[in-house]
Amino acid sequence: MKIPRTIFLLQFFTFLYLFTFTLASTEEATALLKWKATFQNQNNTLLASWKLSPVGSKNSSGIGAASSGACRGWYGVICVNDRVNRLNITNAGVIGTLYDFPCSSLPFLEYVDLSMNQLSGTIPPEIGKLTNLVYLDLSTNQISGTIPPQIGALVNLVEARLEKNQLTDHIPPEIGNLINAKIFYAFSNELSGAIPAEIGKMKSLKQLLLYRNNLSGPIPNSIGDLIDLTLLYLYVNKLSGSIPSELGNLENLMDLELSRNQLTGPIPASFGNLRKLQFLFLHVNRLSGSIPAEIGKLTELKTLYLYVNKLSGSIPAEIGKLVNLIEADLDTNQLTGRIPVEISNMINAKLFYAYSNELSGLIPSELGNLKNLTRLDISSNQLTGSIPASFGNLRNLQVLSLHHNKLSGSIPKELEYLDNLVVLALGVNQFSGQLPEHLCQAGKLVSFSVTSNKLTGPISRSLSKCSSFQWVRFSNNSFTGNLSEAFGIYPELQFIDLSDNDFHGELSSNWGKCKNLTDLQIARNNISGSIPPEIGNLKGLLGLDLSSNQLVGQIPKDFGKLTSLVNLFVKNNHIHGSIPTELESLTKLESLDLSDNRLNGPIPTFIGGYTNMFLLNLSNNKFGQKIPEEIGRITHLSVLDLSHNLLDGEIPPPLASLLDLADLNLSHNGLSGRIPEEFESLTALQDVVLSYNELEGPIPNNKAFLTALLEGNKGLCGNVTGFQPCESPFSVVKKNSRRKKILITVLPVMGALVLLCAFIGVLLMCNKRRKFKDVERRDDGLFSITMLDGKALYKDILNATQEFDSTFCIGKGGHGSVYKVNLPSLGNIAVKRLHSSFENTHRKSFMNEVRALIGTKHRNIVKLYGYCSNAEHSFLVYEYAERGSLSSILSNEIESKNLDWLKRVNIIKGVAFALSYLHQDCSPPIVHRDISSSNVLLDSEYEARVSDFGIAKLLMPDSSNCTVLAGTYGYVAPELAYTMKVTQMCDVYSFGVLTLEIIKGKHLGECITLLANSSSRDHVQLSDLLDERLPCPEDRVKEVLVFIINLASSCLLETPKSRPTMHFISHRLSSMDLRPPTHQINPHVRRAI
């Protein structure tokens, strides 16, 4: 009887064991169902199998040793011994959180993969209870919050993947407890703070990927203890300090990427120990010192990126030992010396970039041995000599960029052998002679630039037939030949610049067959004949410049089909006839300059439909009849020049609607009648020229008319210097009634009065001369060049500021302190009191230049009212700008957010217009010398006002070759360091720096060197250049910002003559055609931003 009892007990305990596991399995399944119940999409088809099966049913047997699992057949769930062991629902479309994930109910869970879903919320601290977890993947979700310190309890974890979420705050030091982890990914989050030193305790780690976060502080030395590490990615963070030499202990490392941080100091020589390293990315940091010779020990290296740092010294000859190297990019550093001949040993190299450095000497002919080379860019250096003929051996070469050097001699014929060449950039050198005959015989050349050299002769036949052309620059040479024969049909052509050469002949109708052409520039040649109507077939044309040629005939009616046209310049030719009515369809025009031609007829009324127009110049033609009042509809018009024509009638009052109008020139016409009194509302008006017409009546009460050129009009009157005051109606009636009586009474007395006045005048003149000499001799004499009474103004300012008490001071600068003053005569003004170091010996030249500055009139320049000086005080009197300096606004977290993208674009345009005016329209031209955010003021409407222009020069009148560096640090052009000579190009450079600062919200610092070269812009992301305090710009605004960034970058070119002029820049900004500026830009690297 004992045997049956034993069997009974065995069956009982077996049943109890199975029941216990079945119950546990049911509890785990129930816990998963409770979590699923929190999903927003509970009807998820993939998880439809998640249903609790009845105990004992056919579906209750689990996958594993036991036979009855409640989760049997569930999608993504695997049980072992009836306990949930693996959960894999990657990319299942789950929308939910982890808040109710049953961490406590799944003690045997080893594998969790919830990646590529739409999980949000935070990682719950209960995750630390999954102590058997080996694999955890929460990547590619929307999980936020911090990494909980409880993750350190997962001591069995081998692989942790948290990447591509929205995790914030620091990495917990408890991460060091994961001693068995081999892979830890947390890249593409928003993690901040320092990398914890405890990470060095993860001795089993092979791959550590923390890139694309906001991590700061130094790289911990303890990472050097992770000797099994093969991948270390820390790029795109805010890490600072030097690179730890301990990283040289990572002898198993194959890929090291520390780029796009703020790392400083040298490249550790210990890197020579990383013999297995294949990829070394240290680019876009602030590393300094020389490239260590030990780098030659990395014989397995395939990619070496050191670009955009501050590395100096020469390129080590040991780099030639890297025989497996495929890509080497050393651009945008401060490398000097020669290009080492040993580079020719890198026989597998496909890419070598060393542009934007200070390399000198000859180009080694041995580079011709690199027969696998596809891209060679050593532009923007100081290389001399000629192009080696051995370059003809580089048959795989696709990109050859040598622009902006000092290369000379002829372009070698051997370049004709480069059948795969796509980009050839040789601009801004000293090449001479003629172009090789067969440069494009393979028909693959897309971008070709030889701009700004000394090349002569005709264009070769192979180039004229190169149908693959897209971007072409022949400008600024001495090319000759018949234009109609030198160029053919280019179906892919987008941009071509033939300006500033000696081409002759006529424009070919073939240009109309270049269907993709967006910009055609043939200015300043000797082109004759008429404009072919076929150009009207270029439906995508944005810019057309045919200025300064010998063109005759009329403007083709077919131009009416150029509905995308933004800029049209045909000035300084011999075009006659009227403006065709077909041009009414050019509604996108922003700049139209037809000046200096022989156009006649009336100005068409349809011009009023050009509502995007910024500049309209029809001067020096023979236009007649009245000024169309429809021009008043061009509300954004800033420059209107209709001077030197045959216009008559009155000035139409609707022109008063041009609220943005800054420059108005209607001189040398036959205009009559009154100046519309509505002009008093044109507050933006700066320059007014109405001279030599037949105008009469009162001069409008507008500040711009106080300095307007109005001579040659007999009937004008008003409170303006040189004109009689206007008489009231009562005085006119009274004068008519008493005229006879006055004549009878006055005439007998006049003779005697004239003699008396003449005698008194002589006495006064002599006395005035004596007084003037006395004033010149006295140190305490009062100087005044304001329109008001200088002496009275001087006293008013002293009284209003209580003798320049500090309580009225609103700012201090290098030359003086600024005070806000409220005067009845001028309202709020800014008074800049000069420092006492101002020398009396410079006073005379200072006064002469101040008088010149008072003559400047532009809406974007702070108005200088005048200057007062005596022995105690010397100060300048300026217009007051309500919002203060641009620098103070950008540095203020609240005010900077009010400065949205459109306001910033408008400020940039304003500064450009002001500088263009100073350089182009002032006589003599004025160089600002100190363009910076501190010297740009903003009025109540956030309009830019450039201030302190010329002041540095005024304070140093002997500074044509000055011995003191002028300008603000960080804005000064690099050539000033060795030439000490200020030119207009210095202002251009400063403008480029300022523009990028306005867009970023702060000075870009070392990143400026990256943007200074067109070839290096591929290393910059647009997000790196935008102010993070503002919302991401919309597509249209983003296009505008990219356009401006490219334009500003061209201002930073190292060679001054290679920078665009401010006149060029202002026209580009006024057109805003959303294309990257074509001035000195390499098309093959337009992937930059």
pLDDT value of position 791: 67
Q: Are residues 869 and 785 in the same domain?
A: yes
Give the angle subtended at the CA of 71 by the CAs of 67 and 72, to the nearest 5°.
50
pLDDT value of position 59: 43
Q: CA distances (Å), 514 to each of 495, 517, 529, 555, in order? A: 10, 6, 20, 20
DSSP summary character for residue 235? -
Q: How far is Cα 491 from Cα 471, in angstroms, rounded to an integer? A: 12
Q: Are residues 855 and 721 in the same domain?
A: no
CA-nearest of 89, 86, 49, 55 to 69 is: 55
162, 182 contact by CB (below 8 A): no
In this predicted structure, the answer to whether residue 486 has a pLDDT above a threshold of 90 is: no
Which domain covers residue 941, as residue numbers? 887-1089
pLDDT value of position 1018: 62
Reduced to 3 states, what is the DSSP secondary structure of residue 153?
helix
* Residue 417 counted as domain residue: no
650, 628 contact by CB (below 8 A): no
Residue identified by tokens 């800049």 is 832
User: Among all residues, which ones are annotated catalytic?
Assistant: 930
31, 106 contact by CB (below 8 A): yes
Q: And the tokens for 372? A: 């696998």
* Residue 370 counted as domain residue: no
* Residue 400 counted as domain residue: no
Confidence of residue 1057 (pLDDT cuts 50, 70, 90): confident
Read off the pLDDT of each residue in 1036-1045 and give the average, rounded to a whole number.
88
* CATH assignment at residue 817: 3.30.200.20
* Residue 436 counted as domain residue: no
Among 231-240, 285-294, 780-789, the least confident range: 780-789
Read off the pLDDT of each residue in 650-672 and give the average, rounded to a whole number.
93
Among 81-85, 87-91, 711-715, 1084-1088, the least confident range: 1084-1088
Q: Are residues 920 and 851 in the same domain?
A: no
In this predicted structure, the answer to whether residue 125 has a pLDDT above a threshold of 80 is: yes
H or E segment to which residue 1037 belongs: helix 1035-1050
505, 485 contact by CB (below 8 A): yes
Domain end marker among 89, 113, 137: 113
* CATH assignment at residue 1074: 1.10.510.10
Read off the pLDDT of each residue in 622-632 and give the average, rounded to a whole number.
95
In this predicted structure, the answer to whether residue 789 has a pLDDT above a threshold of 60 is: no
Number of Cβ within a 10 Å radius of residue 275: 13
Q: Are residues 872 and 900 in the same domain?
A: no
Q: Cβ-count burial of 951 within 10 angstroms (0-12 exposed, 13-18 middle, 19+ buried)? A: buried
Confidence of residue 463 (pLDDT cuts 50, 70, 90): confident
Query: pLDDT (tens digit, 9 = 90+) per residue, 726-767?
Result: 876 544 444 444 444 444 444 454 555 545 555 555 455 544
Q: Are residues 920 and 1057 in the same domain?
A: yes
* CATH assignment at residue 632: 3.80.10.10
In this predicted structure, the answer to whether residue 929 has a pLDDT above a threshold of 70 is: yes
Q: Are residues 1075 and 929 in the same domain?
A: yes
Query: Annotated binding site for ATP: which residue ranges?
Result: 832
Q: And the tokens for 815? A: 């030359």
* CATH assignment at residue 46: 3.80.10
Reduced to 3 states, what is the DSSP secondary structure of residue 182?
coil
**Mean pLDDT, the chain, as a whole number?**
84
* Residue 521 counted as domain residue: no
Read off the pLDDT of each residue in 1047-1067 and give the average, rounded to a whole number.
84
Reduced to 3 states, what is the DSSP secondary structure of residue 336?
strand
Confidence of residue 924 (pLDDT cuts 50, 70, 90): confident
Q: And the tokens for 576? A: 């006659």
Percentage of the chain lying above the pLDDT 70 cut: 83
Confidence of residue 1066 (pLDDT cuts 50, 70, 90): confident
Confidence of residue 360 (pLDDT cuts 50, 70, 90): very high
In this predicted structure, the answer to whether residue 312 has a pLDDT above a threshold of 90 is: yes
Domain count, the chain: 4
- Which residues partner with 809 through β-bridges? 819
Confidence of residue 833 (pLDDT cuts 50, 70, 90): confident
Confidence of residue 229 (pLDDT cuts 50, 70, 90): very high
Read off the pLDDT of each residue in 873-897 and give the average, rounded to a whole number.
85
Read off the pLDDT of each residue in 877-886 and give the average, rounded to a whole number.
85
Q: Are residues 983 and 891 in the same domain?
A: yes
Among 145-149, 288-292, 734-738, the least confident range: 734-738
Q: Are residues 673 and 711 in the same domain?
A: yes
pLDDT value of position 775: 33
Q: Which residue has the higher pLDDT, 788 or 491?
A: 491
- Among 35-44, 768-777, 793-802, the range with the most confident prediction by mean pLDDT is 35-44
Among 84-88, 311-315, 769-773, the least confident range: 769-773
pLDDT value of position 1072: 64
H or E segment to which residue 615 belongs: strand 615-617
Residue identified by tokens 């002032």 is 922
Read off the pLDDT of each residue in 38-43 and give the average, rounded to a whole number.
88
- Which residues partner with 241 through β-bridges? 263
pLDDT value of position 1071: 65
Q: Are residues 895 and 952 in the same domain?
A: yes
Read off the pLDDT of each residue in 704-725 and give the average, rounded to a whole number.
88
Query: pLDDT (tens digit, 9 = 90+) per residue, 943-997?
Result: 999 987 545 454 344 444 444 445 677 788 887 765 667 788 889 999 999 999 9
Q: How far is Cα 521 from Cα 609, in angstroms, rounded to an integer? A: 26
Read off the pLDDT of each residue in 118-123 and give the average, rounded to a whole number.
96
pLDDT value of position 1035: 82
Among 187-196, 212-221, 837-846, the least confident range: 837-846
Read off the pLDDT of each residue in 665-683 and give the average, rounded to a whole number.
93
**What is the CA 388 to chain-centroid distance, rounded?**
36
134, 109 contact by CB (below 8 A): no
Reduced to 3 states, what is the DSSP secondary structure of residue 880?
coil
In this predicted structure, the answer to whether residue 809 has a pLDDT above a threshold of 50 is: yes
pLDDT value of position 851: 58
Query: pLDDT (tens digit, 9 = 90+) per residue, 562-591?
Result: 999 989 999 999 999 999 999 999 999 989
Number of Cβ within a 10 Å radius of residue 99: 13
Q: Are residues 995 and 1066 in the same domain?
A: yes
Q: Are residues 927 and 1075 in the same domain?
A: yes
Query: Annotated binding site: which residue ranges?
Result: 832
Percentage of the chain lying above the pLDDT 90 cut: 58
The answer for residues whose C-beta is within 8 angstroms of residue 85's C-beta and 6 or more apart is 64, 78, 79, 108, 109, 110, 111
Among 4-18, 770-784, 1050-1064, the least confident range: 770-784
pLDDT value of position 934: 86
pLDDT value of position 847: 59
In this predicted structure, the answer to whether residue 234 has a pLDDT above a threshold of 60 is: yes
In this predicted structure, the answer to whether residue 841 has a pLDDT above a threshold of 90 is: no
Domain end marker among 880, 901, 936: 880
Phi, psi of 176 (to 5 degrees): -65, -15
Domain end marker among 113, 141, 159: 113
* Residue 758 counted as domain residue: no
pLDDT value of position 474: 94
Q: Are residues 1039 and 946 in the same domain?
A: yes
* Residue 971 counted as domain residue: yes
Number of Cβ within a 10 Å radius of residue 723: 16
* Residue 954 counted as domain residue: yes
User: Which pTM value belongs to this model?
Assistant: 0.70
Q: Cβ-count burial of 54 within 10 angstroms (0-12 exposed, 13-18 middle, 19+ buried)? A: exposed
Q: How far is Cα 394 from Cα 363, in angstroms, rounded to an integer? A: 14
pLDDT value of position 752: 54
